[in-house]
């Protein structure tokens, strides 16, 4: 095994050649346990501490990140020195009140957006995942699981295809093996695929199938409401015997992309174009004259469903942007106060 199997490439090397000459060596983060990260280097697996910033908070390091380590005599173990520039990153607004980016997957080539064909199938959710995936820089692929539990696979596949134009859609079953062979094409030496989706859709079951053994824990979904039990609790990269690495992740309850510009344009460019052609720049799309949205809705050019999706997402994203701005202003204010304090202190002397 070498780190090339985990996706190490020449470009990373050129970026950190000098540092490697100073005795630092590259590794990839393969599991995140909070304070502790499991990483893989050419010498094997290591456990290292998550570095802390000057406020005492853990630094954002995600599974999939490439880092440089160095042996530290003082702590008698390896220490993380640098996180190398990410090729791709799938980010969402972290759950909770704090406005924070959460990197869900880093340096992945392909994102499998997973939904199950029985209970989890939801096109509005798919839209959100697609926006975040397009923004991540990785290639999205839609994977619909549990085909064995569904009797209208083809119609659901077409619905997903309509929602995700230009994206490949696969239906698979980990019970019958249906569709598994076709999906192997996304895996290959050094390629990373991340599995993202709600709890209980079968992400870990799929990893076990690819790995050819029980490497991850899986669990039945709840009978009363068919929801998953949040069995997987940390992100983890698994090296596959046939080549390639796959990232299992805990099921996500909600997904609000951290940034949406490019993803939003790809997914809703047609809607945005209509909005832009309203006569008034601040059109509320109600009774204003020359409202292109109303016209498009009436003529059927714009589907009500799509309009509502865009409107809701747009609102949430605008709200997130406002919160980001607020946080920035707060920081500036604190900074301003600090400077004023220093100036005042200086005047004393
Ligand atoms: N019938 C059927 N059941 C499946 C299939 N794939 C997974 N399951 C079952 O779905 C349940 C949930 O699977 P998991 O692999 O634990 O789901 P997960 O997506 O990893 O869930 P979290 O870790 O909670 O995010 C298990 O009981 C699996 O056996 C499938 O293709 N067909
Ligand atoms: Mg799981
Ligand atoms: Zn309008």
Q: Give me ligand 2 centre to Cα 44, in Å.
A: 25
Given a contact cutoff of 8 angstroms between Cβ atoms, the answer to whether 14 and 51 are in contact is no
For residues 300-316, average pLDDT = 94
Please state, for a pLDDT cut of 70, what percent of the chain lies above it: 97
Q: Give me ligand 2 centre to Cα 252, in Å.
A: 11
116 CB under 6 A from ligand 1?
A: no
Cα–Cα distance for residue pair 169/234, rounded to 1 Å:
27
Mutate which of 148, 180, 219 for ligand 1 pocket (most atoms within 8 A of beta carbon): 219
301 vs 11, residue with greater confidence? 301
Of 208, 190, 146, 255, nearest to 1 by C-alpha is 190
> In order of start, what are the domains of the chain with their CATH numbers?
10-83 (2.40.50.140), 89-248 (3.40.50.300), 261-342 (1.10.40.50)
For 106-161, give the DSSP string.
ES-SEEEEEEETTTT--HHHHHHHHHHHHHHTSEEEEEEE-GGG-S-HHHHHHHHH
SS3 233: coil
pLDDT band at 300 (very low <50, low <70, confident <90, very high): very high
Residues paired with 68 in a beta bridge: 26, 82
In the predicted model, is pLDDT for residue 257 greater than 90?
yes
168 vs 18, residue with greater confidence? 168
Cα–Cα distance for residue pair 216/40, rounded to 1 Å:
18
228 CB under 6 A from ligand 1?
A: yes
Give residue-wise pLDDT tens across range 194-241: 999 999 999 999 999 999 988 888 888 776 666 888 888 889 999 999
Average pLDDT of every residue of the chain = 90
Of 102, 168, 163, 159, nearest to 136 by C-alpha is 102
For residues 110-135, average pLDDT = 94
Mutate which of 218, 232, 248, 252 for ligand 1 pocket (most atoms within 8 A of beta carbon): 218
User: Which ligand is closest in space to the CA of residue 311?
Assistant: 3
148 CB under 6 A from ligand 1?
A: yes
251 CB under 6 A from ligand 1?
A: yes
Who's near 294: CB < 8 A, 6+ residues apart? 285, 286
204 CB under 6 A from ligand 1?
A: yes
Tokens of 312: 């809701």
231 CB under 6 A from ligand 1?
A: yes
pLDDT at 348: 62
pLDDT at 349: 60
Q: Give me ligand 3 centre to Cα 268, in Å.
A: 16
Give residue-wise pLDDT tens across range 12-59: 777 788 888 788 999 999 999 989 999 999 999 999 999 888 777 777
pLDDT at 14: 79
Q: Give me ligand 2 centre to Cα 250, in Å.
A: 6
pLDDT at 172: 97
Given a contact cutoff of 8 angstroms between Cβ atoms, the answer to whether 192 and 103 are in contact is no
Tokens of 309: 């999706």
């Amino acid at each position: 095994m070498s780190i090339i199997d985990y996706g190490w490439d020449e470009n990373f090397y050129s970026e950190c050649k000098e540092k490697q000459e100073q005795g630092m060596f590259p590794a990839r983060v393969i599991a995140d346990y909070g304070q502790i990260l499991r990483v893989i280097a050419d010498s094997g697996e290591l456990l290292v501490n998550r570095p802390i910033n000057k406020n005492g908070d853990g630094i954002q390091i995600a599974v999939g990140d490439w880092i440089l380590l160095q042996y530290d005599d003082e702590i008698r173990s390896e220490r993380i020195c640098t996180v190398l520039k990410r090729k791709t990153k799938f980010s969402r607004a972290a759950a909770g009140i704090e406005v924070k980016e959460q990197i869900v997957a880093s340096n992945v080539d392909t994102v499998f957006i997973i939904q199950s064909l029985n209970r989890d199938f939801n096109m509005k959710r798919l839209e959100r995942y697609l926006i975040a995936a397009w923004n991540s820089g990785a290639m999205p692929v839609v994977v619909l699981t549990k085909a064995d539990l569904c009797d209208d696979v083809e119609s659901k596949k077409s619905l997903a295809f309509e929602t995700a134009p230009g994206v490949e859609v696969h239906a698979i079953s980990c019970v019958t093996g249906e569709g598994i062979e076709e999906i192997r094409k996304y895996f290959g030496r050094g390629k990373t695929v991340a599995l993202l989706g709600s709890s209980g859709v079968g992400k870990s079951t799929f990893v076990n199938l690819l790995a050819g053994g029980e490497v991850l824990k899986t669990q039945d979904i709840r009978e009363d409401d068919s929801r998953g039990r949040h069995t997987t609790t940390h992100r983890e990269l698994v090296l596959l015997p046939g080549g390639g690495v796959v990232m299992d992740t805990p099921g996500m309850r909600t997904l609000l992309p951290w940034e949406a510009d490019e993803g939003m344009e790809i997914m809703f460019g047609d809607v945005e174009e209509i909005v832009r052609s309203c006569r008034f720049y601040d059109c509320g799309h109600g009774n204003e004259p020359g409202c292109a949205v109303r016209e498009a809705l009436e003529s059927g050019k714009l589907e009500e469903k799509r309009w509502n999706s865009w409107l809701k997402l747009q609102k949430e994203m605008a709200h997130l942007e406002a919160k980001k701005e607020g946080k920035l202003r707060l920081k500036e204010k604190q900074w301003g106060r600090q400077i004023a304090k220093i100036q005042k202190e200086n005047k004393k002397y």
